[in-house]
Every structure is written in C-alpha cells, then in structure tokens.
Amino acid sequence: MGTTALATQAYAMQLTYFTVLPGLLIGLATEIVVGRLVGAGRLA
C-alpha cells in the first residue's frame, strides 16, 4: 500500500470513529442509567 493510500485510509478511519463513537457512547450511557433504574425498582 502506498503512502497516499495509507494516509487516506487512516483519515477515513478517524472520520468514521469520530462519527460513530458519540452514538455508541450515548447508547452505553442510556443502558447504564436504565439498568440502574430497573435495579432500584423505579422503572416499571
């Protein structure tokens, strides 16, 4: 793989992580909050 192709792939992967990671983090945080509420019996 050439230098340009490698740089392009690295840039594309960073852009992908930048766009996917916030949604993943929000989903994980929601899962934790809901789990705590269910465990405390405050979420039916």
Output the pLDDT for position 1: 81
Write down the pTM of the prediction.
0.66
- How does pLDDT run across 1-44, given as a tens digit for each residue? 899 999 999 999 999 999 999 999 999 999 999 999 999 999 86
Output the pLDDT for position 16: 95
Q: What is the 3-state secondary structure (H, E, C) of 8-38?
A: HHHHHHHHHHHHHHHHHHHHHHHHHHHHHHH
Residue 37 near residue 43 (C-beta atoms within 8 A): yes
φ, ψ dihedrals at 2, nearest 5°: -75, 170
**3-state DSSP assignment of residue 1:** coil
Report in angstroms the alpha-carbon separations of 18 from 7, 10, 39.
16, 12, 32
